[in-house]
Amino acid sequence: MDENHAYLEIESDAWEKEVLHSDLPVVVDFYSDECPPCEALAPKYASLADQWHRDVKFVKVFRQKNRALAESLGVRGSPTVLFFHGGQERGARLTGGIRRADLVHQFESFVGPERAQEIRDGVRPIHSSCDVLILGAGPAGLTAGMYTAQAKLKTVIVDGALAGGNVAITHQVANYPGFSKPVPGWQLADHMASHAKGAGAVLREAVDVTSFDPEAKAVVIDGYETIQARYVILATGNSPRPLGIPGEKTLKGKGVSYCATCDGKYFEGKEIVVIGGGNSALEESLFLATFVKKLTLVHRRDAFRADPGIQEKVVKVPVIEPLMSHQPAAFRRLEDGRMQVDLIGVGTGAPRSLVTDGIFVFAGMVTNPPPGTERLARDESGAVIGDEEMRTNLPGIFVAGDVRAKRYRQITTAVSDGTAAAMAVTKAHYG
């Protein structure tokens, strides 16, 4: 047993005894070092072990040292969490940005709803405080955190996903100063997160934000942990704008995707339709074209909005077939499992349908102010208004990045906002 927490660290030779022959249900975390999602999971796993260890055995296996075991189980990435009961693997495996709730969901199926409720009721709320609470760990939040931590302000950055925001799921970033060759988005995000952490900011990633109270400057995460601050920087960014057409919502994640990096690999050798005409649609089409045999790029106008340099690259890729002046009207799943995109010709009104294997939508972004911030002044699009010092209309609450009302949204402008917000907070604190 770990000396501070109620989990067991094992090697391959203890697998049978501790996992397959355990009387209790078992959860196993295969982890690695130099693995940010593993670091994000570790404190959640330790605290869950302390709360559930009477009913579930918590095991950790260092994957790099136990490769043969991992491979024999088909574990190919870290972290991978597996569940066992009665010597058999149960439930779905968890990977990537694993949330506390994902684990608890499986534990409930082991112990039943009544016992699960009893354990939940026994969890004692935790309160902590810091100088600066940053909501959102994208480029704006990470930059702000790096600056405030360097200024010796106790800084906590909270995010519902892993650090990096939209950059982490961008295939290549072509216009970040200092990287003259395109840099993979995940790598740039990783550099930024490491920099903020190295400066002393504490990252709380892949947590559920239960509530946020801007008056108290307090956030509740995972239902039981309150973090209260003197200053808050809202850096919650933006997310893909849905088209709002029939079939889109029900088929999301079942053939309709908003993330090429996440889902492109499922369309190797297949046909897809991409919707949109901006930088994202064209950049992500270049990436998707490396997998698919045919990509129809549907845009509602007769000219793309994307930068000319990106357009020049797209026209040179044979598998990409632009279809201009068509507006998507509905998505459907056909009986044979394929997808159908219904289109209307712009100007002609003529209906047309495309049958395809998958649909990717890149129709711009909508801002994500967190719940509880209705009293913040917003613009007509819902973005939060901040002044030159990134101050909002509420005292002690600052805003930075894509969630802020502004004209240009780039990684560089998010970094700029994060810098300004952090400097304003530092000035407010030290005078």
Of 254, 301, 375, 427, the one binding ligand NAP by CB under 6 A: 301
| Residue 360 found at the interface with ligand NAP (CB under 6 A) | no
Instruction: Give the residue among 113, 132, 109 at the shortest CA–CA distance from 121.
Output: 113
First-to-final CA distance of the chain:
48
Residue 274 three-state SS: strand
Q: Residue 291 carries which side chain, given as an amino acid letter?
A: F
| Residue 280 found at the interface with ligand NAP (CB under 6 A) | yes
Question: What is the number of the residue whose Cβ is closest to ligand NAP?
Answer: 278
| Residue 365 found at the interface with ligand NAP (CB under 6 A) | yes
Nearer to ligand NAP, 168 or 363 (CB): 363
- CB 346, min distance to ligand NAP, A: 9
- Strand bridging mode 365-367 / 294-298: unpaired
Nearer to ligand NAP, 43 or 322 (CB): 322
Question: Which residues are CB-neighbours of 385 under 8 A, at least 6 positions away?
Answer: 376, 377, 378, 379, 392, 393, 399, 404, 405
Cα–Cα distance measured from residue 115 to residue 234, given in angstroms and rounded to the nearest whole number:
38
Of 276, 358, 386, 418, the one binding ligand NAP by CB under 6 A: 276
DSSP 364-431: -EEE-PPTT-TTS-B-TTSPBP--TT-B-SSTTEEE-GGGB--S---HHHHHHHHHHHHHHHHHHHH-
Q: Between helices 185-199 and 36-52, what is the axis angle to 10°?
A: 60
Of 69, 272, 363, 376, the one binding ligand NAP by CB under 6 A: 363
Question: Which residues are CB-neighbours of 70 under 8 A, at least 6 positions away?
Answer: 30, 61, 63, 76, 80
| Residue 352 found at the interface with ligand NAP (CB under 6 A) | no
Nearer to ligand NAP, 143 or 148 (CB): 143
Q: Which stretch binds ligand NAP (CB under 6 A): 26-34, 93-101, 249-257, 298-306?
A: 298-306
Q: Which stretch binds ligand NAP (CB under 6 A): 28-36, 82-90, 95-103, 277-285?
A: 277-285
Cα–Cα distance measured from residue 10 to residue 2, given in angstroms and rounded to the nearest whole number:
10
Contact call for residues 425 and 152 (beta carbons, < 8 A): no
Instruction: Give the residue among 345, 370, 402 at the shortest CA–CA distance from 138.
Output: 402
Nearer to ligand NAP, 95 or 239 (CB): 239
Quick note: the x/- pattern for ligand NAP over 164-203, rule CB under 6 A, is ----------xx----------------------------
| Residue 305 found at the interface with ligand NAP (CB under 6 A) | yes
Of 63, 171, 391, 409, the one binding ligand NAP by CB under 6 A: 409
- CB 282, min distance to ligand NAP, A: 8
Cα–Cα distance measured from residue 35 to residue 37, given in angstroms and rounded to the nearest whole number:
6
Q: Which stretch binds ligand NAP (CB under 6 A): 102-110, 142-150, 289-297, 299-307?
A: 299-307
How many residues lie near ligand NAP (CB under 6 A)?
22
Of 85, 93, 230, 300, the one binding ligand NAP by CB under 6 A: 300
Of 223, 278, 322, 372, the one binding ligand NAP by CB under 6 A: 278
How far apart, in Å, are the Cα atoms of 26 and each of 60, 63, 82, 340?
Answer: 10, 17, 8, 43
Binding site for ligand NAP (CB under 6 A): 174-175, 243, 275-281, 283, 300-301, 305, 327-328, 362-365, 409-410
